Amino acid sequence: MSSRNIWTHKGTFLLAAVGSAVGLGNLWRFPYLVGENGGGAFILVYAVTIAIVGIPILIAETLLGRSSRKSPILGMQHLTESHGTSRGWRTIGWMGAAAAFLILSFYSVIAGWAIHYSMQMFSGALAGADASEISASFDTLLASPSLLILYHTLFIAASGLIVGMGVHKGIEGGLRFLMPALFLILLVVLGYAVMVGDAGAALSFLFTFNLADLSLEGWLEAMGQSFFTLSLGMGAIMAYGAYMSDEASLTRTAISIALVDTLIALMAGVAIFALVFGSGLEAGQGPGLMFVTLPLAFAELPGGSVLGGVFFILVIGAALTSAISLVEPVAAWLVERFGFSRPLAVLMMIVGCWFLGLLTVFSFNVWSQGTITHELFGRSPFDVLEFITNILMPLGGLLIALFAGWALTREQVMAQMATNATWFAVWQFLVRFVAPTAVAFVFLRTIPQIEG
């Protein structure tokens, strides 16, 4: 995004932000975290965080982007200078870049699994397979570092190419088709899962809220996931906000993004858990959950090979539109901090993430045990990356909330929000007090627990 231009259509910010939000976080991460953390209690914490912390911060982050009309780092510099506030707020820029870098490294490896499954589907390799055969084939995939590296390389190169070629036109057109198509196929999968699977068990697992079920770390994961799924707290939304048209309503846009994102996650959750409980698979099996349940559905569905192939292609597409928004904050930071050219910055980011991605690749095979991270934290390098993400994103969001809530004046905010006094007061109360308290509460509860 080199030159300053507004998205072609008024609704394109919404589309691009939905493209960033909807991705592996909804289809892959949400269901597996729910499964690992006991179901309903996790969803409750997740949903409450989205409503009272996520949406207000989404508004704040878009607002910062639109009022500065610059990339996150320069934008924060501009805003702090023109308002005479502390330079410390610029932490938002580089911390976001760090988070984006870590996330893309594992995101790309997981998206690679979808490449594998789209090919498996189209080739009919899994047609008619039962649950144990599908699980076995997933284990075979994970056991092969070279295969995982191949797919990781393909995916990260594709994201780099798209960003390098300049994003706007391509994404706009692509998203208009991709999102509805993904939604439709998900609807078919959901319908099928409800028919053949155990929808009752899935619903009671997902919507029985017993907070005592949730471990301390589950709280952190639920909050981390609500930031992750909305792409919050790391500059991606700020970068897109810089291109948002002045007429679009911040509040309405933010609420729409959160609703679409949550709807897709819940659809994926119900479909996956109906299949899990209907076929005796294990809910808490971790990152493989979506990759063993959905292929199972497609394996038995008439015409499932083609449908499954198309579904995984759409997953790759949704992951790409999220990955693109992860490249942006880092590339912008490299350009602005070190004066690199844009293509060079993107290349450095991609190559760096590729290497870091090897941590994730090896976490599923050669480093699944006995690494230094196991010794220090009792978890694999991939788990540690996810854990850091769960900290960095809420922390970035906290800073954004504090900056928008306390450092900006009412006039500056109202110039962007163009809302009535009541809504402004509600929003301000949420970003000033509720969001910081929620983040602090979860941090204070969980972090000592984990180290101790």
Contact residues: ligand PHE, CB under 6 A: 20-21, 23-26, 103, 228-229, 231, 234, 236, 322, 325-326
For ligand PHE, the closer CB: 23 or 218: 23
Q: How far is the CB of 256 from Na ion (least distance, A)?
A: 14
For ligand PHE, the closer CB: 279 or 390: 390
Q: How far is the CB of 263 from Na ion (least distance, A)?
A: 11
Angle, CA 109 vertex, CA 104 and CA 110 arms, to 5°: 100
**CA separation for the pair 176, 400 (Å, rounded):** 30
- Which positions lie near Na ion, rule CB under 5 A? 21, 25-26, 229, 261
For ligand PHE, the closer CB: 151 or 277: 151
Q: How far is the CB of 327 from ligand PHE (least distance, A)?
A: 10
For ligand PHE, the closer CB: 276 or 393: 393
Q: How far is the CB of 90 from Na ion (least distance, A)?
A: 27
Residue 236 site contact among Na ion, ligand PHE, none (CB < 5 to 8 Å, cut-off depends on kind): ligand PHE
Residue 193 site contact among Na ion, ligand PHE, none (CB < 5 to 8 Å, cut-off depends on kind): none
**Please, are residues 110 and 263 in contact by the beta-carbon 8 Å criterion?**
no
Residue 326 site contact among Na ion, ligand PHE, none (CB < 5 to 8 Å, cut-off depends on kind): ligand PHE
DSSP, res 55? H
For ligand PHE, the closer CB: 26 or 62: 26
Q: How far is the CB of 96 from ligand PHE (least distance, A)?
A: 9
For Na ion, the closer CB: 57 or 361: 57
Distances (CA, A) of 71 to 334, 339, 434: 11, 14, 27
Using alpha carbons, select from 226, 323, 254, 197 the residue that is nearest to residue 65: 254
| Percent of residues in the chain assigned helix, strand, coil, to nearest 5 | 80, 0, 20
| Cβ atoms within 10 Å of 12's Cβ, excluding its own | 22
Residue 322 site contact among Na ion, ligand PHE, none (CB < 5 to 8 Å, cut-off depends on kind): ligand PHE
CB under 8 Å to 405, separation ≥6 — which residues? 60, 428, 431, 432, 435
The structure tokens listed for 72 are 């996150």
The structure tokens listed for 41 are 């209690």
Using alpha carbons, select from 384, 324, 385, 344 the residue that is nearest to residue 158: 324
Q: How far is the CB of 421 from Na ion (least distance, A)?
A: 32
Return the residue nearest ligand PHE (CB atom): 25
| Cβ atoms within 10 Å of 391's Cβ, excluding its own | 18
